[in-house]
Amino acid sequence: MTVSDKPRSRINWHRLHSFFGLTVSLFLAFMFLSGTLLVFSAEIDQAFNPNRHVETAPGGKLSWGRIYDAAAESSPGWSIVRMIRSHNAGIADTVVMMNPEGKDGRAILVDPYRGSAIGPGGQFSFHDLMLQLHERLFVPGDKGRLLVTVFSLPLAAAVIAGIFSYRRFWTGFFRWPRRSGSSRAFYSDVHRLIGVWSLVFFVPLVLTSLWYFVELVGLGVRTEANFRTEKRQVLLPDGFDGAQVDASVKLATKALPRLQASEVRLPRMKFDPIVVMGQATAILVTERQNSVHIDPETLKVVGIQRAEDLSLHQRIAAAADPIHFGLWGGLTTKVLYTGFGIALTVLAIIGIVINAKRLSAMEAKRPTGPARSAFGRTWRAMGPYGLGAWMSVGLIAWGLGNVLYTLFFR
């Protein structure tokens, strides 16, 4: 490539960056914002539901069996199918139950220090609401996930083109925005500054988003074990109580040393085992990748899954969620992801502003003067005939409409 070809190449990369970025910028800003809210969604749920908060007591939390017995006593006839323990010392345990017909479920809260049911878990969950919005726009199943993850393709293209269009981009980390030039130059500098500083976050975000997409088109792999027992006559043997739950958890921690049990699943089907799950020694996995499966009749281990034993394909799949949602480093990464999420939302909006100012400057040079408003010009620039803008607004309206419907009518 000759010297004269290099500027032309950067111009072409810049055009690609503008095309892919601007076309889906509205929807990406919406996704960045919803993803940012999702990072601390569990803490938001806890803040707005005072029933979740409990006073700690000397001696620590009670055993899983005590939680099971308290929940069973509070709801006779209901089947306990899931018990979840928060890592936060001041948060109640959640117990999910099914009615005698096995159809409708509900959640109750149990004080882990006193072993008493303290009320319903509540129907509204900010975390679930944001997850449905961000993950699939309330469209059921894989169709919704595919609808969202397909936007990872133009996002990846915009990021790659942006890197190639910015010559020696690493020199821009401390290049502060110009204040003496035009507003367009200032916003361009801010856009560039946020972009280079966000690359450390942007690259993992793009890669995990692409991974979610390729999983849906055929490269997905199961990362949770699915062991079964012999089919029983009943879900649980007669007289099953918290003592058997404690025995199962003790057996699980013995079978999988350093397992920190954070969830216990009880059978929903007559061939399901008791499953004790939690973090252990592996990094970049969720609690679901470490599990011990126990026959509720014999209290013998029928299967063990260690995250370290997963294949490379499975480890990549298991790592996607911790990396994408900032769960891998506790509070530190949550704070960083929140900051970067806000920055990316601003980045997408500033990209729209820059293009609007560029088009305004071009229209001002027309002999007949501006033919359209700044809003109209920018709208039409988002894809052919504004297709990207119309598509983004339609998807955003669909998502927000479902949020309102869930809040007020469901």
Task: Return the pLDDT at 5.
Answer: 55
Residue recorded with tokens 């055929």: 218
Q: Residue 154: beta bridge partners?
A: none
Q: How many angstroms from the chain centroid is the CA of residue 50?
A: 24
Which tokens hold the place of 14? Answer: 């810049």
The model's confidence at residue 363, banded by pLDDT at 50, 70 and 90, is low
The model's confidence at residue 379, banded by pLDDT at 50, 70 and 90, is confident
Task: Return the pLDDT at 100.
Answer: 79
Q: Which of 111-115, 282-286, 362-366 has the lowest mean pLDDT?
A: 362-366
- What are the phi and psi torsion angles at 77 (to 5°)? 90, -15
User: Hey, what amino acid is at 294?
Assistant: I
The b-or-e profile of 13-25 (16+ CB within 10 A means b, else e) is beebbbbbbbbbb
Check pLDDT > 70 for residue 366: no
Residue recorded with tokens 């010009």: 377
Task: Return the pLDDT at 288.
Answer: 94
Environment class of 346 (CB within 10 Å of its CB; exposed 0-12, middle 13-18, buried 19+) = middle
Backbone dihedral region of 237: left (phi > 0), alpha (psi from -120 to 50 degrees) or beta?
Answer: beta
Q: Which of 47-51, 192-196, 330-334 has the lowest mean pLDDT?
A: 47-51
Task: Return the pLDDT at 283.
Answer: 94
Report the alpha-carbon distance of residue 348 to residue 77 in Å, rounded: 53
197: CB partners within 8 A, 6+ apart: 173, 343
Check pLDDT > 90 for residue 401: yes
User: Hey, what amino acid is at 340?
Assistant: F
Q: Which of 47-56, 293-302, 369-378 has the lowest mean pLDDT?
A: 369-378
Check pLDDT > 50 for residue 3: no
Q: Residue 98: beta bridge partners?
A: 79, 105
State the average pLDDT over residues 170-182: 82
Report the alpha-carbon distance of residue 184 to residue 47 in Å, rounded: 41
State the average pLDDT over residues 157-186: 85
Mean residue pLDDT across the chain: 90
Residue recorded with tokens 């030039």: 181
State the average pLDDT over residues 228-246: 94
State the average pLDDT over residues 337-366: 87
Which tokens hold the place of 219? Answer: 């490269």
Full 3-state SS string of the chain = CCCCHHHHHHHHHHHHHHHHHHHCHHHHHHHHHHHHHHHCHHHHHHHHCHHHECCCCCCCCCCHHHHHHHHHHHCCCCEEEEEECCCCCCECEEEEEECCCCCCEEEEEEECCCCEEEEECCCCCHHHHHHHHHHHCCCCHHHHHHHHHCCHHHHHHHHHHHHHHCCCHHHHCCCCCCCCCCHHHHHHHHHHHHHHHCHHHHHHHHHHHHHHHHHHHHHCCCCCCCCCCCCCCCCCCCCCCHHHHHHHHHHHHHHCCCCEEEEEECCCCCCCCEEEEEECCCCCCCHHHCEEEECCCCCCEEEEECHHHCCHHHHHHHHHHHHHHCCCCHHHHHHHHHHHHHHHHHHHHHHHHHHHHHHHHHHHCCCCCCCCCHHHHHHHHCCHHHHHHHHHHHHHHHHHHHHHHHHHCC
State the average pLDDT over residues 342-365: 86
Check pLDDT > 70 for residue 22: yes
The model's confidence at residue 181, banded by pLDDT at 50, 70 and 90, is confident
Check pLDDT > 70 for residue 261: yes
Q: In what order do the strands lie in the sheet with 105-111?
A: 116-120, 105-111, 93-98, 79-84, 260-265, 274-279, 291-294, 301-305
Half-sphere exposure of 403 (CA within 13 A, CB side): 18
Task: Return the pLDDT at 180.
Answer: 76
CA proximity to 221, closest of 363, 89, 133, 320: 320
More confident residue, 373 or 381: 381
State the average pLDDT over residues 128-146: 95
Q: 142-165 pLDDT, tens per residue?
A: 999 999 999 999 999 999 999 998
* Contact status, residue 26 vs residue 34, Cβ threshold 8 Å: no
For the ranges 49-58, 307-316, 366-375, the maximum mean pLDDT occurs at 307-316
86: CB partners within 8 A, 6+ apart: 92, 93, 94
Task: Return the pLDDT at 367.
Answer: 63
Question: Model pTM?
Answer: 0.88
* Contact status, residue 306 vs residue 256, Cβ threshold 8 Å: yes
